[in-house]
Amino acid sequence: MTIKLLSEDVASRIAAGEVVERPASVVKELVENSLDAGATRVEVETSQGGTALIRVRDNGTGILSHEVELAFRRHATSKLERATDLEHIATLGFRGEALSSVASVSRMTCITHHASEATGIQLRLEGGTVVARSATGRPPGTELIVEDLFYNVPARRKFLKTERTERRHIDAFMTRYAIAYPDTAFTVVHDGRQTVNTPGTGDVREVLLSVYGPDLGGSLLEIPADLTLDLEIQVRGFVGPTTVHRANRGYVTLFVNGRWIEDLRLSYAIIQAYHTLLPVRRYPIAFVMVEMLPEDVDVNVHPTKAEVRFRDGDSVFRAIQRTVRATVVAQAPATARWTPPTQVGSPTQVGSPTTTADAQTPTSATNSLAQQNRARLASLRPSQSHIQFPPARSEPTNIGSPAAGSTTPASAGPDWKLSVSATGAPAPDAVPPQPARAQSSQQLPPLRIVGQVATMFIVAEGPEGLYLIDQHAAHERVLYEQLLSNATTGQVPSQPLLEPRAVSLPADEADRLEEMLPALRKLGLEAETFGANTFLVRAVPAQLKHIAPADLLADVAAAAGESSPIRAELEEIVIRHICKRAAVKAGQVLSIEEMTRLIHDLEATENPRTCPHGRPTVVQISTEALARQFGRGGAA
Ligand code: ADP
Ligand code: MG
């Protein structure tokens, strides 16, 4: 093949691919232009997930009538004149690519009116070519209408996800910008349904309440301005308290000089600021805005400008980590009240008096509880034993706080390594199990409860010796099978709430949740949509009545975000998530009756020997092994 220059038309469509990946990227470019134009009101409207129509209307400066055509040319920008301007960019745009790119892959209409002129202009383009121009009247500002996106790039059109997914991307983007630009009023309407509506009063808290709802929006902590007041790098924003956390990192948002960026390292600075304050594998909600001199950050390194380069990245990292940490630690509630799950009754003192006090340890001090538990466990270690405790892991767990939703036994305590008979679960170092009865049986033998150790493990005696049961893992297994059987048999012990609870969620979560309502009903969770992004919870599964409906819905939405689209799997993932939060925690004192009921319920499950995440629920030490420890040489 000989080398040929691409035609202007083909070249521009290829270039568009860098900027315009999906409807949300169009919204991003157009909204950024509105903000650059000083708009205090930005209205976004879409139909069919933005594929049929995207309309962005603003009250910014407008475009001069003789410059409208120019704005649609490649590399035409009013924001940059000389190459040196690149070193201190204060606007969101600067490459002059967006309008030409979007225009080249759609049918576009631009209606704009510059305040200095008597009338406005309406320009119509198809595939980037101007097809009509006329004078028109409208208040100062600009309205851009993008129709039939990718109509001339079928390959790209094929790769678009469902309308719902596209709407979700748009909402996620708009929500972030609404928070970062509180002086601007934003609305988003999809096919006539409003999902975002912020007042534009300059009060970030008001925006948070409007996009996240009163529960979540009201709980976020403001980073005090005085932490970085006199410094070159200023950090502002809102971060979740330690009681609020999510299953993935998607709720950590970063803005640098008013631009949303994705930076793994800086996200990590935020996550690390919560070190030891959140349960393992749970992530904070954070909205962090960094302001610094434009010349200290290079924004011209990525096609969509989602990544930036810092002159001194370490300083930015430290500033973020320090301020977030200080905010969370200072403003975390002094005491977190722990409410016992009603299903297993209230805890009674069984162990030493100190354990009850531990169970109510303030959130910020729960770390020491985990350490105490470890210390207590370690002190139980027989000096000449085959049972080895590996050193405690470096990630302590949030035990005993109401929000320790995902405390898992595997990480809450040391791993057991048994060189004697460990049963059941696939512990890598365990020798093959010595089952109590039939080799094939997964079932548990009848057990007699002896007591509780370290408020984590139930000690029991059985036909084959000593049994240690991880209370959290065991309860997870019980709940998991109960909920799963609810779903399959349709016999749902659902508990109607005396008063239905309204729960608001961020638009993208609400969208996901709405899809799942029928599946949730099968689990006994009755919720219906109730206005934009709000749900009315009418009934919850009886096993979960001690969990706040808001937590329940947030968990489900987060699970849905991670899960595969296969319905059956989705249910399982959701149930696993719920069980994590609902199960009795390590650190919780159990009465003999509670332990007996739990073991009884565990015996009734199909797979009593592992938790839904595959970790062991039961560890068994045979009488022979115990005897050997005491130098009794085999026989008891
Ligand atoms: P860039 O934003 O990088 O300058 P764009 O292609 O996005 O490039 O826009 C080209 C130019 O069109 C901008 O520099 C600006 O002058 C003008 N423009 C685009 N959108 C608007 C708007 N909503 N209001 C006012 N001017 C606009
Ligand atoms: Mg632009």
pLDDT tens string 348-404: 333 333 333 333 333 333 334 334 433 433 443 333 333 333 333 333 333 333 333
Backbone angles phi, psi at 20, to 5 degrees: -110, 95
Q: How far apart are CA 282 and CA 285, in angstroms?
A: 10
Higher pLDDT, residue 528 or 398: 528
**For residues 84 and 435, which has the higher predicted lDDT (pLDDT)?**
84
- Closest Cα to atom 2 of ligand 1: 93
Please return the burial class of 35, using the count of CB atoms within 10 Å of its CB with bins 0-12, 13-18 and 19+. Answer: buried
Sequence-separated (6 or more) residues with CB below 8 Å from residue 30: 54, 56, 98, 102, 144, 146
Query: 556: which DSSP letter?
Result: H
pLDDT at 326 over 60: yes
Å from CA of 611 to ligand 1 middle: 56
Strand partners, 130: 125
- Choosing from 12, 55, 72, 77 the residue with most ligand 1 atoms within 8 A of its CB, the one to mutate for a pocket test is 77
Q: What is the mean pLDDT of residues 499-522?
A: 83
Better pLDDT: 520 or 397: 520
Which CA distances in Å does 593 have to 347, 349, 360, 409, 557?
A: 10, 12, 21, 22, 35
Q: Among 562, 393, 541, 409, which Cα is nearest to 477's?
A: 409
Report the pLDDT value the prediction gives residue 255, as an integer from 0 to 100.
Answer: 94
Inter-CA distances, 576 with 399, 476, 541, 560, 582, Å: 19, 8, 14, 12, 10
Tell me, in angstroms, the distance from the centre of ligand 1 to residue 202's CA.
24
Query: What is the mean pLDDT of the segment spanning 535-539?
Result: 90
For ligand 1, pick from 78, 95, 113, 304 the residue to mutate: most ligand atoms within 8 Å of CB.
78
Of the candidates 397, 426, 380, the one whose C-alpha atom is nearest the C-alpha of residue 580 is: 397
Residue 33: CB within 6 Å of ligand 1? yes
Place 276 in a pLDDT band, splitting at 50, 70 and 90: confident
CA of 95 to the centre of ligand 2 (A): 7
Residue nearest (by alpha carbon) to ligand 1 atom 23:
34
Q: How many residues comprise the chain? A: 636
How far apart, in whole angstroms, are the C-alpha atoms of residue 592 and residue 348?
Answer: 9
**Side-by-side strand order, sheet with 457-462:** 448-453, 457-462, 465-470, 618-622
Confidence label for 149 from pLDDT (cuts 50, 70 and 90) = very high
The answer to whether residue 426 scores a pLDDT higher than 80 is no
Q: How far is the CA of 145 from the centre of ligand 1 (A)?
A: 14
Residue 414 pLDDT > 80: no
What would the pLDDT profile of 569-621 be if each residue is shown by its tens digit?
Answer: 566 777 777 788 788 888 888 888 899 999 988 988 887 887 877 778 898 88
**What integer pLDDT is reported at residue 410 of this predicted model?**
32
Rg (CA), the chain: 29
Q: Is 343 helix (H, G, I), strand (E, B) or coil?
A: helix
Q: Verify whether ligand 1 is closer than 6 Å to residue 533 (CB atom).
A: no
Q: What tokens were used for 589?
A: 């004192």
pLDDT tier, 562 (very low <50, low <70, confident <90, very high otherwise): low
Higher pLDDT, 156 or 59: 59
Q: CA–CA separation, 496 vs 475, rounded Å?
A: 23
* Residue 465 backbone class (left: φ over 0; alpha: ψ -120 to 50; beta: rest): left
Please choose from 29, 36, 81 the residue to mutate so as to test ligand 1's pocket, defined by most ligand atoms within 8 A of CB. 36
- For residue 339, the model assigns a pLDDT of 31
The alpha carbon of 94 and the centre of ligand 1 are apart by a number of angstroms equal to 9
Buried b / exposed e along 503-538 (16+ C-beta atoms within 10 A): bbbbbbbbbbbbebeebbbebbbbbeeeebbebbbb
Give the ligand at the shortest distance from the Cα of 97: 1
Reduced to 3 states (helix: H, G, I; strand: E, B; else coil), residue 121 is strand
77 within ligand 1 shell (Cβ under 6 A):
yes
Least distant ligand from the CA of 94: 1
The model's confidence at residue 32, banded by pLDDT at 50, 70 and 90, is very high
Lowest mean pLDDT among 516-520, 549-553, 572-576: 572-576
Tell me if the pTM is above 0.75: no
Average pLDDT, the chain: 77
Question: Taking 80 as the threshold, does the pLDDT of residue 33 lie above it?
Answer: yes
Q: Is 610 in the pocket of ligand 1 (CB under 6 A)?
A: no
> Does residue 61's CB lie within 6 angstroms of at least one atom of ligand 1?
yes
For residue 411, pLDDT beyond 60: no
> CA 557 → CA 95, 177, 267, distances in Å?
38, 22, 22
What would the two tokens of residue 374 be?
A: 């470890």
Q: How far is 425 from 402, CA to CA, in rounded Å? A: 29
Ligand 1 contacts CB of residue 142 (under 6 A): yes
Closest atom of ligand 1 to CA, residue 80:
4
Question: How far, in Å, from the CA of 427 to the mean position of ligand 2?
Answer: 56
Q: What is the pLDDT of residues 168-220, one digit of tens each?
A: 899 999 999 999 999 999 999 999 999 999 999 999 999 998 888 888 888 89
H, E, C per residue of 352-383: CHHHHHHHCCCHHHHHHHHHHHHHHHHHCCCC
State the Cα–Cα distance between residues 585 and 356, nearest whole angstrom: 13
pLDDT digit string, tens, across residues 284-325: 999 999 999 988 888 877 777 778 889 898 999 999 999 999
Q: Which residue, by CA, sits nearest to atom 14 of ligand 1?
A: 77
- CA–CA dist 22, 314 (Å, integer): 34
Count Cβ atoms below 10 Å from residue 490 Cβ, excluding itself: 8
* Interatomic CA distance for residues 384 and 382, integer angstroms: 6
Coil, strand or helix: which one is 27?
helix
Instruction: Say what the alpha-carbon torsion angle 506, 507, 511, 514 is, to the nearest 10 degrees.
Output: 60
Q: Which residue reads 């059985």 in tokens? A: 462
Are 493 and 524 in contact by the 8 Å Cβ rule? The answer is yes
What is the C-alpha to C-alpha distance for residues 616 and 618, in angstroms, rounded to an integer?
A: 6
User: Which residues have CB under 8 Å from 77's CB, separation 6+?
Assistant: 93, 94, 95, 96
Residues above pLDDT 70, as percent of the chain: 78
> Rounded to whole angstroms, how far apart are CA atoms 149 and 493?
48
For 85-102, how does the pLDDT look when each residue is reduced to its tens digit (9 = 90+)? Answer: 777 777 888 878 899 999
CA 41/CA 140 separation, integer angstroms:
12
Whether ligand 1 lies within 6 angstroms of the CB of 89 is answered as: no
Quote the tokens at residue 163: 């309308």
CA–centroid distance, 77 to ligand 1, in Å, is 6
- β-bridge mates for residue 53, sequence order: 47, 147
Residue pair 514/536 in contact (Cβ under 8 Å)? The answer is: no
Higher per-residue confidence, 260 vs 430: 260
